[in-house]
């Protein structure tokens, strides 16, 4: 036969049960307070870029991106888009990371669609980090000839 809760109270005595439940809730409360006092995990700084847009021969081209500053490297996330289907033109976005004598460029293109991207530009060598990132948009033919240079923007590593 199982002991009923109201009988357990009589068997153990009301004061003992109450003290145990108060003690357990105090331990839980103290643990939660201690955890909330811990410092938050440091987030990497992110620099947003203005929307880069241009037109050529009635077609619209554009790119949106942001840069995350990881220690020495930079992460780049965004989209590049071409508004006209099957027009033989591509929107190309090139992102150049620079620091000291080190410069690296990564490009992404979209011919008749919007293309998302997410990549990291690793700093070469063992010293230094990237201090600036420049994004440049242009329009080129699918054969690779540039027909229109769009806007560019530069962001500097936050202090």
Per-residue pLDDT at 42: 59
Given its phi and psi angles, is residue 157 left (phi above 0), alpha (psi -120 to 50 degrees) or beta?
beta
Mean pLDDT, the chain, whole residue set: 76
Instruction: Give the residue with greater pLDDT, 52 vs 40.
Output: 52
Fold that domain 46-156 belongs to in CATH: Immunoglobulin-like (2.60.40)
* pLDDT tops 50 at residue 24: no
Structure tokens at 100: 């000291």
Q: What is the pLDDT of residues 53-110, one digit of tens each?
A: 988 877 888 999 999 999 889 999 999 998 876 667 888 999 999 987 789 999 999 8
pLDDT of residue 86: 63
Taking residues 115-138, what's their average pLDDT? Answer: 88
% of residues, the chain, pLDDT over 70:
71
CA distance 123 to 132: 12
pLDDT at 100: 78
Distance, CA of 21 to CA of 135 (rounded, Å): 61
Q: What is the pTM of this model?
A: 0.69
State the DSSP code for 51.
P
pLDDT of residue 125: 73
Beta partners for residue 97, in sequence order:
104, 133
Query: Could you tell me the residue ranges of all domains in the chain?
Result: 5-36, 46-156
Exposure string of 28-38, with b = 16+ CB inside 10 Å and e = fewer, is: eeeeeeeeeee
């Amino acid at each position: 036969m199982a002991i009923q809760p109201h009988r357990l109270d009589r068997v153990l005595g009301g004061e003992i049960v109450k003290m145990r439940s108060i003690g357990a809730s105090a331990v839980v409360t103290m643990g939660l307070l201690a955890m909330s006092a811990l410092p938050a995990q440091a987030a990497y700084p992110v620099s947003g870029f203005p929307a880069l847009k241009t037109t050529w021969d009635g077609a619209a081209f554009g790119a949106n991106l942001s840069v995350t500053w990881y220690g020495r490297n930079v992460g780049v996330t965004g989209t590049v888009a071409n508004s006209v289907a099957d027009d033989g033109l591509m929107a190309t976005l090139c992102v150049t990371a620079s620091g000291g004598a080190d410069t690296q460029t990564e490009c992404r293109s979209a011919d008749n669609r919007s293309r998302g991207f997410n990549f990291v530009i690793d700093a070469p060598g063992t010293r230094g980090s990237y201090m600036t990132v420049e994004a440049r948009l242009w329009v080129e033919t699918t054969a690779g000839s540039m027909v229109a240079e769009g806007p560019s923007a530069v962001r500097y590593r936050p202090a």
